[in-house]
Amino acid sequence: MAQRGMPLPPQLTGVPFPPQYDPAQMPWKSLEVSPADLGVVRLAGVDVDLFRLWGAILQHGGGAAVSQKGGWIVVRDHLGLPEYMPSPANPAETKPVHEVLERYYMALLGPFEEAYRKNMMENQQRAIAAGRGLPGRPGMVGGNSAPGMMPRPNTLPNINMDGPGQFLPVQPGTMPLQPPNVMGVGVNGAINGAGLSLNKMQSGGLSNGSGDLEHDMDSRKRKMAEVAESEAKRVRQKTGGSDVSESRGSVAPGQTPEAAVPTITRTIRQPSRRKIEYVPLAPELDTAGGRNLDFIQNEWARVAARPLRHSDEWGHVDIDALTLSLRSRISTELSYSLTTFALLTLARNQGQHPRDPTRESGFPIAQAPELLDEAVELVEELAFEGVEEDGDFADDTPFMTHKELVNTLLDDGTKPFAGLQSGPGVKDASHGPRPRPADIVLTVVNIIRNISQGDESSAGHLAKHDKLIHVMLRLCSLAPRSKSSTPVPLSPILSISDLLTIRKDVVHMLVNFGAFVTLLPDGAATPPKQMQHTIKRAFEVVASFLVDPSETLTPFNYVVQSGIHLTPHNPKPPAPPSLANQALEAFARFTLPDDSRRAVAQIVPVPWIWRTFEALVHRLPISDHDFHAIMREPWIGYVERLVLCLYSLAFLSPPELKNRAKHDGALGFSKVVLRLLRKLTLHTPMESRSTFASLIRRAIELLKVVDDAEDSFDPSRSAMPTLSFGIGYGEHGDNRVERGRGMLCAYQEDITLGLMMHPEVVDAMLFSELESLVRVGP
C-alpha cells in the first residue's frame, strides 16, 4: 500500500474482517495488504471504517461512478462528517470534507478497487472458457456478462446519488459483493433477500475435459440443497407450514433425474428465526451516597412550582371534629387533626383586627377553647404520663447554658457507635409504625407558637390559660442531676435535641405573650406553688441563652468572631445574635409589670440574678469600634434591650446585690454605663441624638436604681401608690433629702457641663436624677 498510494495516517487501528470471510482467500494478488488491514481513519474528528466504506462505494459502481454523480456529499452526510475542516498546512484555512474524503478513498482504496476489477475480469474469462456452449441469453455465458463488459457488482436497484438519504452503506458482518471462486470457477449461484434459489447447470453442457470441475460443482449444489431442505423442514415443524411454502419441479419426459433441474423456492412471510438477546436493565445513576440528587432537586422544583391553594379552597373545617379527634388518641385521628390544626394556624386573615384593619390576624383560638385544652392535655399526657408536679423546687445550683447543652449533644453524637446506643427520646420498637411521641409533642408546641404570633386577643387568651405556660416551661426543664452525670430532660420521651428545639419555641412564645402573663395574683403576697416552678424555669430558660462566658461579647468582638471585618469596602456588620436577641426581648416583656418583677425577686435565687446581670454588662459596648458597629438599627435595638433587661434585674435585685454592682471594680458597671451615655450624647451629632433618647433615659434610670441600693418593693419609701408606671415603686415625686456621695461624683464635670447641658435628651426629671448621681455630701 505504501508503494501504490499515500502513506497511512497514524490514527489507523486494526479492525478484522467479518467472521464469514477469510481475508487470506481474497484475490489481492498485486498488493501486500488487504482492506481488512486498513482499519479506521479519523477524519474531522469522526472515525471512518475504511473496509465498510470500500464495500459501500463498490456497491454503487466504484469511486469513479460516485465522483461522476457527485455522491461524495451524500457519503459525507451519511458518515456524520462536518462540511469543512481546517487545513493541515494552514489551520486558518478550511477545506471541504467531501473532497478530502474522495482523495482518501482514491489514495487508500483505489488500488484495491483496481485489483478487484482486474481479478473479476480474469475470473469471468475463465468462466467463459469453462462453460462455453451453455444455454443462455445472447451475450451471456453461465450467468455472467459477455467479454469486454464490466460486471454488475450486485442486484441492488440503481439508487440516485444526487439526493440526500439515498446512500446505503454495507451493514456490519456482510460483504458488498460475492467474492469470486478462488479455484477459477465462475459464479453460478446467488443468495438474495427474498429467499434461496439454486440453479443447477445441465451436466450435458460441460466439456469432456472438465470432469473434476463437474464433480466439484455437483457436490457443492448437493450440499446447498440439503441445507435448504433441512431449514425448510425445521421451519415447517415450528410454524406448522404457515410461514414456508415449498414447491418441487417435476421431471420432464425423456430426461434423467440427474439432468433435471430441481428448484426449491422458499418464501419467508415472517422471520423463521429470531435471535433474542436479553440485556439486563442496569441504569447508571450519578448518585451521592445512594441518593440521586438531580432527581430530588428536579422533583422539588416541580413541586415548588405548584401554586399554593388559597385558604378559601379548603372548604369548611369542623372544629368540634378536630377536638374529638384529639380526644380519641387514635393514631390516624391524631395525624389528621394535628395536620389540619397546623394548617389553620398558618393562615392569616387580612382586616380582622378591630383597631388596625390593615393588620393580619391568625387563627382565633379564643373561639375554640376546647381545642386548645385538648392539645395541652395531649402534651401533658404524652410527656409526663399525666403525673402532676409535686415537691419543693429549692435547687440553687448553677443552671446549664444553651451552649453547654449543644456541646453535650455534639459530644454524645461523636462517640463510637453513638447511633446504636439507646437513650432518652429514642422510639420504642414495641410501638410499631406509629410516630415517636416526642414528634407529636413538637408538633403541638409548633402549633401553639404559630397561634401566639397572631393578634393581641389570641396572645392574651394563651397567657391566661390555666395550664399552657406551666406545661410549656415544664417541657424545657432538666431532671435533677449530680455533678458527674450528663443532663437529661425532665420528660422521659424527649432527647437533648428535642429539648433545645422546644426551648427556642418557648422563648418565642414569651416574646409574643409574656407581657400578658400574670405571675402574682391580685392581693397575693407570694405566687402559688405551681407559678413558683414556672417563674424559676422561665428565668432559667431565658438566661441560658445569655450567660455563657464564650458568648458574652461586646458588639465588635462578636463581629470579629463571626469572621467579618469592618472595612471601608464592607462597613456593614452582621446582625446581632438572634437567640440572645430573642431571649432579651422575652425577659424584658416577661418582667415588664412591677408585680412580675416582685414575683421574680421572691423566687429566683440571688446567684442566678447576679450571674445574669454580670453577663449583660459584659455585652455592652465599650470601645470606639463597638460604638462604630452599633450605629445601625438592629444593633441599636439590641443595646436598648440590654439596658432594659439590666434595669429590670437591678430593680428586682436585693440591696446587697445593688451595692455589689456599685462597688465592684472588676465589673466597672458605672464606668461602662457612663461611657455609653457620653458616646451617645456628647459624641453624637445633634440631629441624631433623638434616635438614642429612650436609650439614654433608661440608662440614667438604671444608674439611679443601682445608686440608691434600696429595696424597690419597700412601701415605706414613699407615700405614693405602690404601683407606678416607668421606674418602679414610689419613685415619682420623691423629694426626700439624699445624703452621701453619688455613684458619679468623680465625674461632675462630664455630667454637669456635658449631659445636663443638653435639654434635647435630658428633661427635668432626668436632670434631677443626674444631679443626685453627682452629689457630694456628708
pLDDT (tens digit, 9 = 90+) per residue, 42-69? Answer: 777 777 877 777 777 877 778 888 887 7
Q: How confident is the model at residue 570 (pLDDT cuts 50, 70, 90)?
A: low
Distances (CA, A) of 137 to 140, 143, 151, 198, 344: 5, 8, 15, 18, 97
* Average pLDDT score over residue span 341-347: 88
**Four-point Cα dihedral 135, 138, 140, 143, nearest 10:** -50
Q: Which residue has the higher pLDDT, 320 or 139?
A: 320
Across 315-319, 409-413, 440-444, 752-756, least confident range? 752-756
Strand-pair partners of 196: 191
Q: Is 416 exposed, middle or buried (0-12, 13-18, 19+ CB in 10 A)?
A: exposed
How far out from the chain centre does Cα 439 lie? 24
pLDDT of residue 14: 36
* Average pLDDT score over residue span 584-590: 95
Which of the 8 DSSP states describes residue 177? S
Contact status, residue 438 vs residue 498, Cβ threshold 8 Å: yes
Grid look-up 461523636 returns 414
Q: How confident is the model at residue 227 (pLDDT cuts 50, 70, 90)?
A: low
pLDDT of residue 483: 59
pLDDT of residue 495: 92
pLDDT of residue 186: 34
Backbone angles phi, psi at 43, to 5 degrees: -125, 120
Alpha-carbon gap, residue 648 to 644, rounded angstroms: 6
CB atoms inside a 10 Å sphere around CB 412: 15
pLDDT of residue 606: 94
pLDDT of residue 577: 92
Per the prediction, the chain carries an average pLDDT of 75
Alpha-carbon gap, residue 204 to 16, rounded angstroms: 43
Output the DSSP codes for 586-652.
Answer: HHHHHT-SHHHHHHHHHHS-HHHHHHHHHHHHHTS--SHHHHHHT-SHHHHHHHHHHHHHHHHHHHH
**Closest listed residue to residue 395, CA positions, set 551, 539, 549:** 539
Alpha-carbon gap, residue 689 to 683, rounded angstroms: 9
- Percent of the chain, pLDDT > 90? 32
Q: Inform me whether the pLDDT recorded for 734 exceeds 80.
A: no
Alpha-carbon gap, residue 701 to 484, rounded angstroms: 43
Which of the 8 DSSP states describes residue 95? E
Q: How confident is the model at residue 254 (pLDDT cuts 50, 70, 90)?
A: very low
Q: Which pLDDT tens digit goes with each residue over 484-496?
A: 678 899 999 999 9
Q: Which pLDDT tens digit goes with each residue over 664-715?
A: 989 999 999 999 998 988 888 887 788 888 898 899 999 999 998 888 888 7
pLDDT of residue 288: 82
Residues 6+ apart with CB under 8 A from 273: none
Q: Which pLDDT tens digit goes with each residue over 534-565?
A: 999 999 999 999 999 999 999 999 988 887 77
pLDDT of residue 347: 77
Across 155-164, 500-509, 639-648, least confident range? 155-164
Alpha-carbon gap, residue 766 to 745, rounded angstroms: 16
Q: How confident is the model at residue 180 (pLDDT cuts 50, 70, 90)?
A: very low
> Residue 426 is placed in which grid cell?
429514642
pLDDT of residue 329: 92
pLDDT of residue 397: 82
Give pTM, 2 decimals: 0.60
Across 250-254, 385-389, 462-466, least confident range? 250-254
pLDDT of residue 277: 78
Which of the 8 DSSP states describes residue 328? H
Q: Inform me whether the pLDDT recorded for 182 exceeds 70.
A: no
Q: Which residue has the higher pLDDT, 587 or 719?
A: 587
Q: Which residue has the higher pLDDT, 139 or 280?
A: 280
pLDDT of residue 378: 95
* Average pLDDT score over residue span 380-395: 75
